[in-house]
Structure formats: structure tokens, C-alpha cells
Structure 1
Amino acid sequence: MPVTPQPIHQVPFSNSFVDELRGEVAVNLQPRQVPGYCYSRVEPTPVRAPRLLAWSDDLARLLGLTRPPEQGPEAEVLAGNLVTPSMKPFAARYGGHQFGNWAGQLGDGRAISLGEVSAADGQSWEIQLKGAGPTPYSRRADGRAVLRSSLREFLCSEAMHYLGVPTTRALSLVSTGDTVVRDMFYNGNPQPEPGAVVARVAPTFIRFGNFQMMTAAGEIDNLRDLADYVIRHHYPELGAPSPAVYVQWFTEVCRRTAVMIAHWMAVGFVHGVMNTDNMSILGLTIDYGPYGWLEPYDPGWTPNTTDFGQHRYAFGQQPRVAIWNLMQLGRALAPLVTEVTELNQGLEQYAATLNATQADMMRRKLGLSAREGQDDAALLEALHPALAAAEVDMTQFFRTLSHTAPALLASGGEPEAAFQELVTKTTYAPSAADAHKPLLGWLPQYLERLRLEPRSPEDIREGMLAANPKYVLRNYLAQTAIQAAEAGDLSYLHRLMEVLKTPYAEQPEHEELAAMRPDWAWNMPGCATLSCSS
């Protein structure tokens, strides 16, 4: 049923998380332990001068919201200054493993959920304000967020959605009129920066860490209530909660997580901080912090300066980290099941789904179909080290290949020169001829396999273009938008937003936004690597 669009300050909110689970009314906002509860009721702290900077029209249509003016009651809601009567704002309590170590209670230290709205798809969506002020879970922080990190989260949430990656969404970006002091690289050089609030949207923001916290604290009743809540609202197809259903549910979480990871790997996305408190119970990409995109193809690359010692969350490690995180979730859910070993089927499902989905997505990127009697495993496996050796830009390489390979099929011409041009055009190391040899040796083998496809070159090209984006949110693009926005110019941000809505389209008028990382961006803060500071 269509939803009649309304201003956000007039939309009725529901509050299932607050109404169905144990929580406290947090009069005391001082950082502290909050035993026995799933959340704390806490209202956002008002800011000085909220102003709307960016808005997701498509998401707003889904939620039945009208586009707000730059200032006014809607911007007040989106900044946390106005809480309407139907809202029951809260900050969730959770724990988590950070860089492999148990960190104890964490929780929403700067994110405050307003409640849920009913959307045109029949689903309830939670709206959460990130940067809305202190909560009992803020630890040593101020509950605020800066414009640079908020803009990055807003843009990337929506960009990933349009890429087809399972993700949380972002509705709005609002400047606060206040400054926030941050040490961007944790190097003892704190600076005041403009503050902002991003409104994040998802069916729920519950994480693996919510369940870990309950088990670690011995709160098994809360653990069961939380699991039952998630199953009722987000996995109703599994039926009434029971020990057997908990196993089925865990298996489905594992499957969804595998699909998400396969999508990350297919587009060259590096999350940067895959702590268990940053893993969605719905298998959605959540918490866009020090993320990045593979520009030189390097499985060992991480954009997170905090991870430079371990490279735990590097691109090539993401599939392994995800299953490790799922193992921690399984341990947290163990008190709910009859036989703990039954949870292993979920981990097996993860491995099977990841392998199958990655292989399918890579075949589509290469224009190959799964053909009976045709084993492409060796061909696909050999590609990754060849890409790494040649230091190609992942996005540019596959996009250019989408034109080059079908053209060679159609013309029957000499491929050597075409492949040399392809690699030269998409590499970051054009002088390293020896480094190019594995990829130049792989490409003719791939072309021979492609010749076995029964489809026309045109059909193959269209399929490859639909699987290989031309535009991704490279860090230097985001940083350019940040610098312009900090100077008061939002035109680049809005242009980038529009281009990223159709990342698989050619959009020749925006060609420069598809360019490889320029020389000036290699060592510029925010363009290559980032910290968790926001």
C-alpha cells in the first residue's frame, strides 16, 4: 500500500525494541556499566544550528517522507533537537571483540535510535542518529561526530545500496553548527572540526555484540528475549522460537553474512574494522568508518591505520574474519540450543554459500556462465595473484575488460596488443613489465574460455557491464567532497550522490569521477588511509 509522504516530524513512530525488551530510563548520562538491560532510554543532546546538507530522495520515498527544507522542524528532528511524542529514543547496549580481543561493554556511544517508521515495502525501518550526543555507553567520548566521517558514512551507505551490496542506508546529513575536537590520526594533534549528524536507516541495528554482551554477563533471560525479538520481527519465516529454530536462525545469519562478504569482495570494498560489534545480525554492511576500495589490487591492503600492525581486516582477510566473528556469535547463542555442535551447520553454510556466491559473481564479472562439464575453478583462482602482481586498479580493470574482451570476440582480431593496452591503462605500475606477465599470460587463457560461451559478444558485454561498476566511492572522491563541504560548497557532494546512484551506467559526462587515484591523493590524509577517528 502506498505511503502518503509526510514531514518526518509528523510521522508516527513505533517502538518495538523499547516496548518488548528490558531497558533503563537513563537519567545519568555518565559513562558506566549498565547491567541487566538491552538498552538505555536517552534523548539526543541538542545542537546549536542544524542545517540539512544532503538527503536521500529514494530512501525518503520508501519511508514515506517529504524532502525537508534546509532549516526547520524536520532538520531539528534529524539533528536530535526535536523529539516528537511518538518517539522513544534509546541507545543499545552491546559488547564485542575489537581486533580479536574481548572489549567488554561497548554500546551506542554516539548513536541514538528514534524508533521505527512503516515504509512502502510493508517493513518497519529504524531511524538512528549518529553523532547525537552522549549516552551511558560513550566511554571516554563526547557522543558527537565530525562532518568528514558523517559525510563518508552518508555517501557510502547509499553508494553500496546502488551497487547491490547488502547494507544499511542513510537518510540525511545535517551539520550542527558546532565544532568537535578530534585527533584524526591519533598522533597527538587534535583539531576542532565541524560537527554533523547522519540519520542511518535499517530494519534493525542489532549486532553480533548485542548477544555477546548478554552471554558474557550471564544474562540468559535477556539473551533469549533478544533472540526471540529478532526472530519474531526479522526472521518470522522460521516460526516460533525454540532450540531448533535458534539453530536455523544462526544458519541463516551465516548464509546472509556470506552473501554480504561475497559482494564486498566482488566490488573491491574493504570495511576496515570488522569487529564483532560492527557485524549486523541481518547480514548488512554496517558502520562505515575507515573503509576503502581496492585501487592497486592488493589482498593485504587495509585502509585502517589502527590495523597497520596486524592487517587483520585487510581485503583478503575479510572472509576469514567473518567466519571468526560468526564463531563468536555461535558461542554467544550456545546457551539457547540443545546441542552446541548443531551450530556447526551454520558455519558450514557460511563456507558453502561464500564459495558458491563468490564463484558465481566472479563468473558474471568475466562474462562466463556455469556450464555443465566446464570447471573454471583453476582459471578463476589464478586471476587473483595475477591482478595483485600487476597492481591493477580493480574497478578500472574489470570495467575496461567488459569492453575489451567482447570486442575481441566480435572482431576475431589479435588480442596481444589489446590486452597490453588494457593492463597498461589500468595499472599503477606501468614500468614494472615483469609484474604484468602473469596477467598478460592469464588473459589469453580467459579469452579462449570466453569463446566457448554460446551467447553473442553483445550479450556478454551487457552482462559484464552490469556486473562491473564504473563508479565507486573512492576515498579521494569522498575527501574532495568533504573539503568542498567544509568550505561551504555542497555541489560536488550532490553531483557525486547522483552519479553513484547509477554506478553501472556509462555516464560519459562524469567520466573524471571514474578515474584512478591521482598522484596527489596517494599520501593525502583521507584519500588512502584513515583511522577510526570520527
Structure 2
Amino acid sequence: MVKQINVNIQDRFNRELPADPVLENTRRQVAKACFSFVSPKQTANPELLHVSPEMLASLGLTEEDSKSDAFLNIFTGNTVVKNTQPYAMCYGGHQFGSWAGQLGDGRAINLFEVKHNTKFWAVQLKGAGITPYSRTADGLAVLRSSIREYLCSEAMHHLGVPTTRALTLALSGDKVLRDVMYDGNPAYEKGAIVSRVSPSFLRFGNYEILAARQDTHTLKTLVDYTIRHHFSHLGQPSKQTYIQFFSEVSQRTIQMIVHWQRVGFVHGVMNTDNMSILGLTIDYGPYGWLDDFNLSWTPNTTDSQHKRYRYGNQPNIGLWNLYQLANALFPLIDDAEALESILNQYKTDFETQSLQMMRYKLGLEKADEKDYLLIQDLEDNLQQSETDMTIFFRSLADFKKANPSEGLKIVAESFYNPTAISDVIKQNWNDWLMRYASRLQLETATDEARKKQMNTTNPKYVLRNYMAQLAIDAADKGDYNLIDELFQLLKKPYAEQPQNEKWFAKRPDWARHKVGCSMLSCSS
């Protein structure tokens, strides 16, 4: 028998919530249940590629543990830990604005929950085989999408963005058939598995599916469970507690999306089944990072026509998704006015927090009534020519309020084609920089103090799409070193890291229209 790992397993979800009574792993509609028991698929020749030391420690594991056969087999699905019962969660969702019915964990299998240092962590495998919710899919994952998820979830954490985490990245040893761009050209790729970690993987869709089926009893059971374990500070479940619960979910959603906007992250597929009830970034599929500041950009090829999930629309989609959650919770609350009040407050609070976030990006500590116009005009300027968002804001920290005429030189490196900047655009920039200098006169901080503050808000390094693609291309050839290089780089995104200056660079021309850099499908 394979030796087990030593972690403090304390399962709650599959002990306290109703289970699907059918044990056969067949695709089906699952009613009056929150999950189905299912075992991971046995992998042919698993190989561990990378482990997050932080998440190892968070689970009470050591580096030595991660080198054992037991660890490899557990986190690639070949061994089920004794006295645990893996499962897939049942949920529905609105996809691109339309109700899609039952969705569920089609390629994610939850292994167990761990308690360590008073914190609970749910651990799951992504790409570990079919479940009752796999529909027509195979439940597997490929290396390219797994690299993207593994690197980005950890990168987002170090950026200060609420997110699920990743523990391991592994090859399964199996080949997986995928049609990358859905254009009728499928090909076999390396199969892979990511172990994901979060306090909970509950989504808006977990509640929606029960409300849609008018299963109020199970809905109440799930909401009460959620409050008891994840919002216990709200008190015992009651109608008023449910209202407070929805209000806090709304606030967490605002905070998460404000962070997305701050760092230039575009989720790409903000369906309600991809919205965490804890306000965490979840499901890293066709995501992307803004290279040039473009409010209309979306990385998802499925969304290329309507651009529903474009960068500039993420705040609105957050609200739309909360409306769907409000509808799902309504049977328990039966107070439309209370829910509408919270939804209306979202708009006000988002504007307030977004404005404050932009003040921080500009190094403004005091509030001025003209800040909104200053920021609006800045965004207009950023879109007049192709301007790298990350480089612009990081460079702006070097601006000297006593010498605004040098401002354009300071940010010039952020323009993708500096020679194409027209005289009109230059004048617009110079006008804005003069106003910015004037606004900075209202601040008491020195230029150096302002720079230090701005550099804690504006990252120098983010997981640009081309960077992830370089790691994927190398990994396809059996070279996994770049995965670790980027992993280490992105642990300190606000630090200068002069030895890594090559990554503080605009998107190269070869990546402008390359699949995986500018275009990604839901199979990404």
C-alpha cells in the first residue's frame, strides 16, 4: 500500500450537505444534491513539474513530503487518501447572459478539506477525469491550460488580488485530444493536472441551480452551510442574515473586480458559474492581461463579436451576475426591496472604490472633486495611441511635479509606436501632464515618497500573455525551466528585480496576433 501524506483532513462539504445517491459515474442530471461522489482517473505516467512552497506550508506539508511517491500519486489522482471521499460539485450558471442549466464540476474533482493553523482549505484536482457533470467532454486538461492556471493563480495572489490558489502542476502521462480554436483541427496534446486550493470553491451557480429547480429545502441547507463555515461572523441563519450575506458577497465582488481593473486583468469568461461566493478569482481559462490599455479588449475568441466580458465591462458584469444570485436567494429572503437596495449600492460603491484605486495608481492621497475628470481624460489619452498599461503607470512614478515638460519623455517607453504619435496626441498628453503636475501640488508627499507609494500599487511584472506562451512552448518541448523562472519572478511583482528587467517589456510583435497571446478559447 502506498504511504499516505500527513495532513489534518477535516471534510465538511461532503459530510454536511446532501449527496447524489447515484454512485455510477455517468453523465446525468443530478437533483436534490450538492455533489456527486466520484474517483479521479488513473493516470498513465504522472510527473510532478512544479510545487508551490507557500501552499505546501499552508496545508501543513513540507518540501520533503512533496518529493514522496505518496504526494505524487495523491495529487495526480492515482491514490485516494484513506477515509476520504472525492466528489464533484453540482451547479448551474448563466453563460454569456443565457441560462445554461446544470453545469457542475466537469473536470474538477475535490479530494478533501484540510485544516491547518485555524484555516480550512479545500483541495481539488483539475483535469482528473470525467464526472456526472462532464456532459460531452472528457474531464481532462492539457499542459498549456494547466500552466496558465498554475502560474496565474499564484501570480494574482502576490499581486494582492483575491484568488484561488494552486499547489501543484503535473503531467499525467496521457495524451489529450483538443481543438484549440474550435476550427475543426483537433490535435493530441500533453495531458496535465493542476491541484487547486481555496477556502471554498462555491460559486453563484451552486445556488442558482437549486433555485431554478425550486428546491428551496436544499437551497436553504446550502446557504446555511455557507454562512456557518464562511460567513460565521454574520450570526445564526435568518432572513436578516441572508440579506447581510448577499450584501457581503456583493462587497467582495466589488473589491475583486476593482483589483482586476487595477492590474489590467481580464477574466475572459465571467459566467455565473465562474463567480466565487467568497469574491475570489476562480477558473483561469481564457484570461488575459492588458498589454495596451484598451477598454474593449477581451481575450476570449468565443466573445470576440459581442465582447460581453471585455475589460471595461467587467464591473457591469459583476453587477449583472449579482442580480442572478439575488434571484436565486430570493425564495429564502422574500424581500425584493432589500435586495434591490444592495444592488443599487453596488453601483455607488464601485464608483467610489474605483476612483480611490485610480488615485492610488496616480499617487494621489488627498481627494479632489476634479480627480474624476483627470482620470477620465487620462483613460482617453491612453487609448488615443497604443500604450502599454503596465509600463505607463510604473514609469509615471518617476514624474517630477516641478518639471512637467519632461513628463512625455518619462512615459515614452510605454508607447508601442512612438514615431506614430501625432502632434495632436502629443499636445493632449502635454496638457494632461501639466494638469497632473498642478494636481500634485495639492499633495504633501515628496516625489520620492509618491514614487514609493505608486510602486506598491502599480506592478512592474505581470503574467503577460506572451510570457505564459513562451513557458508553454518550452514545456511542449520538454523544457520546464521557464515555468519556475516566471513563478519566481511573479512572487515579487512590485519589486524592481534588475536581474529580471527583460520581462519589463512591451508585448513583442510576434505575439500581437499569435494564438495563446492575443486569442484564447475556452479550452485554454
Deviation for aligned residue 1:402: 1.0
Q: 1:71 and 1:490 mapped to 2: Cα distance?
A: 20
Deviation for aligned residue 1:354: 1.5
Tell me which residue corresponds to 1:422: 410
Q: Secondary structure at the match of 2:114?
A: strand
Cα deviation, 1:258-314, whole Å, max 9, x if unaligned, reads 000100001110000000000000001000011111111110000000101110000
Q: 2:349 and 2:174 mapped to 1: Cα distance?
A: 46
2:165 equivalent to 1:169: yes
Deviation for aligned residue 1:377: 1.9
2:34 equivalent to 1:44: no
2:185 equivalent to 1:189: yes
Does the CA-based 8 Å contact 2:23-2:36 persist in structure 1? no
Tell me which residue corresponds to 2:482: 492
Tell me which residue corresponds to 1:110: 107
Tell me which residue corresponds to 2:69: 72
Deviation for aligned residue 1:27: 3.0
Tell me which residue corresponds to 1:3: none
2:381 equivalent to 1:391: no
Deviation for aligned residue 1:343: 0.8
Tell me which residue corresponds to 1:432: 421
2:336 equivalent to 1:336: no
Q: Quick one: which of 499, 504, 508 aligns to 2:498? A: 508
Does the CA-based 8 Å contact 1:257-1:350 persist in structure 2? no
Does the CA-based 8 Å contact 1:389-1:438 persist in structure 2? no
- Runs of at least 5 residues in structure 1 that lack an aligned partner in the other structure: 1-6
Q: Quick one: which of 73, 88, 92 aligns to 1:91? A: 88
Tell me which residue corresponds to 2:374: 379
2:308 equivalent to 1:312: yes
Q: TM-score, normalised by structure 1?
A: 0.95
Q: Quick one: which of 247, 252, 259 aligns to 1:251? A: 247
2:194 equivalent to 1:204: no
Q: How does 1:263-412 map to 2 (within 5 A)?
A: 263-371=259-367, 375-403=370-398, 405=399, 408-409=400-401, 412=402
Q: 1:505 and 1:177 mapped to 2: Cα distance?
A: 37
Q: 1:104 and 1:421 mapped to 2: Cα distance?
A: 54
Q: Quick one: which of 154, 157, 181 aligns to 1:158? A: 154
Structure 1 runs of 4+ with >6 Å offset: none
Q: Which amino acid aligns with 1:241?
A: P
Deviation for aligned residue 1:69: 4.8
What is the aligned length? 519
Q: How does 1:117-132 map to 2 (within 5 A)?
A: 117-120=114-117, 122-132=118-128
Q: 2:76 and 2:274 mapped to 1: Cα distance?
A: 23
Does the CA-based 8 Å contact 1:129-1:197 persist in structure 2? yes
Q: 2:504 and 2:125 mapped to 1: Cα distance?
A: 31
Q: 1:230 and 1:460 mapped to 2: Cα distance?
A: 42
Does the CA-based 8 Å contact 1:53-1:70 persist in structure 2? no
Q: 1:240 and 1:166 mapped to 2: Cα distance?
A: 26
Q: Quick one: which of 140, 145, 151 aligns to 1:149? A: 145
Query: Residues 80, 26 of structure 1: CA spacing in aligned structure 2 closer, same or farther, 3 A cutoff?
Result: farther
Query: Residues 51, 25 of structure 1: CA spacing in aligned structure 2 closer, same or farther, 3 A cutoff?
Result: farther
Q: 1:378 and 1:18 mapped to 2: Cα distance?
A: 51
Deviation for aligned residue 1:463: 0.3
Q: Secondary structure at the match of 1:23?
A: coil
Tell me which residue corresponds to 1:56: 52
Structure 1 window deviating more from structure 2 (276-285 vs 358-367): it is 358-367
Deviation for aligned residue 1:423: 4.1
Q: Quick one: which of 507, 517, 525 aligns to 2:507? A: 517
Does the CA-based 8 Å contact 2:6-2:61 persist in structure 1? no
Deviation for aligned residue 1:439: 3.2
Q: Which amino acid aligns with 1:502?
A: K
Root-mean-square deviation over aligned CA pairs:
1.5
Q: 1:111 and 1:323 mapped to 2: Cα distance?
A: 27
